[in-house]
Structure 1
Amino acid sequence: MPNTPLHIPLINPNEIEAQVTAIHIREGQRVAQGDPICSLETTKSSFEITAPHDGYVVGIQARTGQRVIANDIFCYVAELPDWLPPENPVQASAEPAAEVPAGIRITQPALILAHQNKIDLQLFSTEHLITEKLVQAELNKRDQSEITLPQGEFAPTDIVVYGGGGHGKSIIELVRAVGKYSPKGIVDDSIPSGEQILGVPVLGNYDLLSVLRANGLRLAANAVGGIGNVALRVKVFQRIAESELICPELVHPSAFLEASARISAGTQIMPFAYVGSEAVVGFGVIVNTGAIISHDCVLEDYVNISPGAILAGEVHVGSGALIGMGVTVNLQVRIGSGARIGNGATVKADVPEQAVVRAGSAWPV
């Protein structure tokens, strides 16, 4: 019977962190194959780690409530209860250690190649695992003397979508539904140029933005959702602004906004969402499918409201906060900047900045 490390899985491709919501075993406990070890939760889903075989739990590395990273070792299932787990192994490599920016997922060969060629990992999207192939594609771009642009001049309604992941697909569909703009291409920091996403070509990485602007492009849409790290979404907005491109508000025709509601540039309001009387929606906010923003609510910049969330009247959500799917927020509650409210939670009182409310829970506990 092997001594098996149990790794934290990547539950959500856009979110490398998870929270340990319950630990079902204790150090040295005997378990049978399939017994629950611990429960994990991200902002979008939950997961239970189970024993891969009979044995003893050894070397528990986390506690309930702690945030853990995908691929971290949670514990071992060992043949004997007194087996000692090894020290954290160090990768044997002649290459110096390279720092990986928060939210970036990259294979070891890709990391070595990027380090050897001094490639900035911030060029890549967090929505994809960075492989050696993607890093090589980035290297190949350096050798291109010319950039292939869409044929013809840009029309005033042409728009480029920054990000070709899952949210990128939603934004392409949203742009088409709005009907005022034409998606001319995709800029993505990890998808090779030339690929097609929903019939829209990937043109290149963010270096292309200034070239597109110089050739007459005026509009861009930020399709980096930033669920795991809102700073990445903010950074994309900064890159778009530095290239002197404008992010228009995008409101799906099936969404309903009261006449007195105010929305800002860069806002993305998805199908069947509702924004109530005198609500204020800040720059770069996402109001996702079927969400309800009641009267007099204030959503500061970069807030992400997930599908089906309901905010009662006069709720104030601080910048960069994430409200999960199906969340209910009571009247006049204030949610602090950077807070993360898990799916299905009920929020009855103010939430501090950067706080995490567990999915399915009632706040305050």
Structure 2
Amino acid sequence: MERPRLLILGAGGHGRAVLELLRDAGFPPPLGVLDDGPASPGLPGVPHLGPLSRMAALRAEGAAAAHVALGHNATRRRLGEALLALGYALPALRHPSAIVAGSATLGAGSVAMPRSVAGAAARLGAHSILNTGAILEHDAVTGPGCHIAPGAVLGGGVRLGAEVLVGILAGIKPGTAVGDGATIALGAAVVGDVPAGATVSGVPAREKA
């Protein structure tokens, strides 16, 4: 299947990581990058096409596929949904070293970074990041706009709501539910359900007052 030339939204650190993934996965050079930073240098070797607001004009000019390479969950989801509404295709991106089970699914605009794992029947939500070395075990499901940071592990059957951030090297016990907008701190060990909007940290993880 022919891989599309993507319009990239975001020229920061995650944008550079996505650019490397595209090269490793054999995508053609991106069409260009949009970024709101007034002093943004753009991405190496990629045309800088202006601010994020140009995505509608570029669609009208023929741009057909895009990826939101921004780390902030709510912003990434919002822009991804806006791109879909404009008629852009948002293919799921997968590094060649990622392990994705045949029964696993990667949502629109999601990305599985190097050495990440999505196990049997796992579902990574739209506009979500399964970052370097992170594991989404069998039957685990994330809502849209989540970020599972490097080295984090979600046990079998874990359920994340929308826009959840799971910090670096955090672990979540199998069968646990995490509500919308929750934050799991770096290195936390989550052994019970987490309410929406909560921030938990520590071993075992507890909600901050």
CA shift, 1:202, in A, is: 1.2
Q: What are the Cα deviations for residues 14-59 of structure 1, in whole angstroms up to 9, with x where unaligned?
A: xxxxxxxxxxxxxxxxxxxxxxxxxxxxxxxxxxxxxxxxxxxxxx
CA distance in 2, matches of 1:181, 1:301: 27
Secondary structure, counterpart of 1:220 in structure 2: strand
CA distance in 1, matches of 2:88, 2:29: 15
Answer yes or no: is the 8 Å Cα contact 1:261–1:276 preserved in 2.
Answer: yes
CA shift, 1:266, in A, is: 0.7
Question: Which of 81, 99, 105 is the matching residue for 1:262?
Answer: 105
Number of equivalenced pairs: 206
Question: Which of 333, 345, 354 is the matching residue for 2:188?
Answer: 345
CA distance in 2, matches of 1:282, 1:205: 26
- State the partner residue of 2:127: 284
Closer/same/farther in 2, CA of residues 237 and 259 from structure 1, 3 Å limit: same
TM-score w.r.t. length of structure 1: 0.54
Q: What are the Cα deviations for residues 171-226 of structure 1, in whole angstroms up to 9, with x where unaligned?
A: 11112222134312111112458x44222121101232222222221111101110
CA shift, 1:239, in A, is: 3.1
Question: Which of 39, 43, 53 is the matching residue for 1:197?
Answer: 43
CA shift, 1:258, in A, is: 0.8
CA distance in 1, matches of 2:119, 2:105: 10
Q: What are the Cα deviations for residues 223-265 of structure 1, in whole angstroms up to 9, with x where unaligned?
A: 1110xxx322222213323432121100000000111111211
- State the partner residue of 2:157: 314
- State the partner residue of 2:138: 295
- State the partner residue of 1:327: 170
- State the partner residue of 2:6: 159
TM-score w.r.t. length of structure 2: 0.92
Secondary structure, counterpart of 1:200 in structure 2: coil
CA distance in 2, matches of 1:224, 1:247: 14
CA distance in 1, matches of 2:198, 2:122: 24
Answer yes or no: is the 8 Å Cα contact 1:323–1:341 preserved in 2.
Answer: yes
Query: Relative contact order (C-alpha < 8 Å, sep 6+): which is higher?
Result: 2
Secondary structure, counterpart of 2:145 in structure 1: coil
Closer/same/farther in 2, CA of residues 166 and 191 from structure 1, 3 Å limit: farther
- Structure possessing the higher radius of gyration over alpha carbons: 1
The percentage of counterpart residues that share the same residue type is 36
CA shift, 1:352, in A, is: 0.6
Answer yes or no: is the 8 Å Cα contact 1:252–1:270 preserved in 2.
Answer: yes
Q: How large is the RMSD of aligned CA atoms in angstroms? A: 1.8
1:356 maps onto 2:202 in alignment: no
After superposition, where does 1:67-82 map in structure 2 within 5 Å?
none
One-letter code of the match for 2:122? A
Question: Which of 10, 15, 27 is the matching residue for 1:180?
Answer: 27
